[in-house]
Chains A and B, each alone.
Chain A
């Protein structure tokens, strides 16, 4: 049976008209689309390979987590408007996650800043909003895994909303099939080293993002996985032989030996409180990183920003 080509079946899906591609995230393509009332939404497409017993359990679990998340709305997390699906071809189901969409994101905001940069109070407020949103996701057992300025949308009132999360397990499978070029700059070392990881990867990314708000440039702008790790070791120092993961193709000796430094050495704009917070958030060993909730009790957030 010949089915219509993927392109044509995508261009109109249910009540949504696709307008353009917003982003090719780590885990799939997100389209800007218009719903029947003319409202602009973000349409995230996830192709699910059906098993012998239909839709995989992990996909169903994750969708129901996302739905639950939405039942208790959070001001710093983008709204999931609808989940729907079409069958594209035999053995596959295409699930569409329809999210609220905002036109501006944090990377746009940072680029448009004047030379004087972002005001200390704005950095502090956006950092609180980011960590509050991350804490909300984590308390619902959702790990974002791809936090970056492009995924942090800014509302017209200037508030931050985390976007582009969900279906991590489903994507895992898909990632092996697609070779999407993904930014590595916010990726935690344990992910780059292919180690088991958990919600604390998001704390790493949040740390990188907070530093970027101060300096208006990425903290670790790596060009490849190896180069990304090298840039990270500039801050954390090269891990000892003991702490170097076993059974990975990457060889410790191929990296320069470096001493441990402070975030302020790489990002001069940091105040002493933000320096201390980022020092904890950007710990090579994820077990030493604070949770999002713990971050929010840090002195940086309870004292006046000092420069």
Chain B
């Protein structure tokens, strides 16, 4: 039975961290900080969007099995980026990732890396691999987004704007747990839907429109209601809400090697100018925050709170983070099943020792086809 990486909302409210007394809001903030950090670190090391997104998904999955109290988020984040780099064949040296992290993080945040930061990250790799069950290949909304956007009909400059904004929203969605709730296809649909609402671009026609299709996404996904899409949109829009807990600093944590083994040398003590640990104080079950009131429909919610593009309340340097990559060029189509091509020398094999032949770029693996192409979402992953 393959592991299921999709969770119900109630499971996201009963995580290992919450069982150790971390509140839902604090965990949400930790996840957001970890994801933002991977985005920043990855971008400044010029890693591509897929590598970055893969790292963030590892991060979110990891904390469905472990607590933020045991594993400090920025160490985990570095390890996720290290692993994602290798899996996506854009490897970065552990040393360089740590150097980059040191430049981004505050001194208090960097404290969690301990005396030997590299060892801290390397030790975690094995735990990370085991936790994510070696499910290394992760699919992301980006290429679905481009495919879907290309099929829409209308004013090209408006469509371009929709695609670009949707792309930004996909980036931002990584700071939420939507990747733990929905398949990338659905997130792509939701983010295009959100962008089209915000740009007031109503999609009325698309390539290959059938009389039976009332919405453009009926072409790509089935059984997806507007309520599901709007719920995803609201989870992303909540990122820009000012009501989210934004404490100045989180209490630094001990490196995992220390927190795991109690006999470790005790010379590292919590530094003096720590803020009170009130965020992580265990909360009795009765005092758990009640569910927020349901969101208003998107059409009402957006104009009041969110000033469209770029999303309001976002870091000022937000646009510089992805300067010239929108939308990225469509990857060229590669023949896949033609193995080997009939009249050419055979393709490189994985068995060729690197010294025997000059390295040849292998065509990329086909994306997204591995679930058998069914589109009965969610039901494909029985619990």
Contacts and interface: CB of A to CB of B under 8 A. Distances in A.
Interface of A: 52-58, 60-65, 67-68, 70-72, 82-85, 87, 93, 138-143, 145, 168-169, 172, 195-201, 286-287, 291, 293
Q: Which 8 A-B pairs have the closest CB atoms?
A: A64-B136, A71-B370, A83-B134, A198-B349, A57-B86, A168-B351, A198-B346, A64-B137
A55 B129 contact: yes
Contacts of B133: 82-84
Nearest to A171: B351
Contact of A54 (B122, B136, B340, B357): B122
A215 B346 CA distance: 31
Contacts of A286: 346
Interface stretch (B29-37, B88-96, B207-215): B88-96
A55 B79 CA distance: 12
Contacts of A57: 86-87, 89, 91
Contacts of A197: 349, 351-352
Q: Which of B93, B136, B350, B365 has the most CB of A within 10 A?
A: B350
A129 B365 CA distance: 24
B330 interface: no
Interface string B74-91: 000000001100110101
B94 A71 contact: no
Interface string B357-372: 1000010010001111
Contact of A85 (B129, B348, B372): B129
Interface of B: 2, 82-83, 86-87, 89, 91, 93-94, 122, 125-126, 129-130, 133-137, 336-337, 339-340, 345-353, 356-357, 362, 365, 369-372
B5 to A, nearest CB: 12
Given A67-B134, A71-B370, A199 B129 contact: no
A52 B356 contact: no
B168 to A, nearest CB: 28
A199 B349 contact: yes
Contacts of A63: 134, 136
18 contacts: A53-B86, A54-B86, A58-B350, A64-B137, A68-B365, A72-B372, A82-B133, A85-B126, A85-B134, A93-B126, A141-B349, A141-B365, A143-B349, A168-B349, A169-B351, A172-B353, A195-B356, A198-B348
Contact of A67 (B86, B89, B125, B137): B137
A60 B340 contact: no
Interface centre among A55, A93, A169 (most CB of B within 10 A): A55
A53 B340 contact: no
A169 B349 CA distance: 10
Contacts of B362: 141
Given A55-B125, A72-B369, A196-B357, A61 B349 contact: no
A61 B87 contact: yes
A72 B125 contact: no
Given A57-B91, A60-B136, A198-B340, A68 B370 contact: yes
A276 B140 CA distance: 47
A8 to B, nearest CB: 20
A198 B347 contact: yes
Given A53-B93, A287-B346, 10 more contacts: A54-B82, A54-B83, A55-B125, A57-B87, A68-B137, A72-B369, A83-B133, A84-B134, A139-B339, A291-B339
A145 B351 contact: yes
Contacts of A293: 337, 339
Contacts of A141: 339, 349-350, 362, 365
Nearest to A56: B86
Contacts of B371: 71-72
Contacts of A62: 350
Contacts of B87: 57, 60-61, 64
A80 B281 CA distance: 43
A54 to B, nearest CB: 4
Given A60-B136, A169-B351, A198-B348, A87 B126 contact: yes
Contacts of B129: 55, 85
Nearest to A70: B2
Contact of A52 (B94, B135, B348, B372): B94
A70 B266 CA distance: 46
B86 A199 contact: no
Contacts of A65: 350, 365
Contact of B136 (A53, A56, A67, A195): A67
Contact of A138 (B126, B339, B345): B339
B130 A60 contact: no
Nearest to B90: A57
Nearest to B87: A60
Most chain B CB within 10 A, of A60, A140, A168, A172, is at: A60
A196 B133 CA distance: 33
B348 A54 contact: no
A196 B352 contact: yes
A63 B346 CA distance: 23
Contacts of A71: 2, 370-371
A178 B350 CA distance: 20
B55 to A, nearest CB: 13
A195 to B, nearest CB: 8
Contacts of A138: 339
A277 to B, nearest CB: 17
Contacts of B122: 53-54
B54 to A, nearest CB: 10
Contact of B350 (A53, A84, A168, A195): A168
A172 B348 CA distance: 16
Interface hub of A64, A84, A293 (most chain B Cβ within 10 A): A64
